[in-house]
Amino acid sequence: MVAGHLNRRIPRNEFLVTEQTWDDCEFIFEARLRGPGSNAGVQFWSKRLPNSNEMIGYQCDIGAFKKGLLWGWLYDESRRNRFLATAPQSDMQEWAHPKGKWNKLRVRAQAPHIQIWLNDYLVCKFEEKDASIPQSGHIGLQIHSGPPLECWFRGIAIRKL
């Protein structure tokens, strides 16, 4: 499955979203990026915002940003709008395969805990302490707005815990 395109800018974030909602689950997938853009992700425990193309919820990030690599970092999309768990760049340089190569990610979301592995290295552990934040929702493959970019996904598997 391929999100995005290489022949023009991506005007806004786009999401391919599951119909089913998930609570405690584990999902694995492989991803790789191609093109001048740098960022994509996979939403989970998320929902679409009304009258918007955006989603609100947790995101397992894919790729890079101006400060370095962010493969497997945990971001809170359209809610707190910040990273909730990260890894040092020295580790990211060791764990992540170069752009264009496949990286394997595993997300274990078992309320209130979230763990994310990149190529079998534990990138982040997070415990949600705010009981008002939903810990169930949809899973969505994201391509980030910006320069041309393709995010290729394969080997997607989801299992309920």
Q: List per-residue pLDDT tens for the chain, 161 residues long.
A: 899 999 999 999 999 999 999 999 999 999 999 999 999 999 999 999 999 999 999 999 999 999 899 999 999 999 999 999 999 999 999 999 999 999 999 999 999 999 999 999 999 999 999 999 999 999 999 999 999 999 999 999 999 99
Point out which residues pair with 51 in neighbouring strands.
none
Nearest CA among 80, 72, 87, 84 for reference residue 40: 72
Per-residue pLDDT, 79: 96
pTM equals 0.96
* Phi (first) and psi of residue 95, to 5 degrees: -85, -35
**What is the CATH architecture of 2-160?**
Sandwich (2.60)
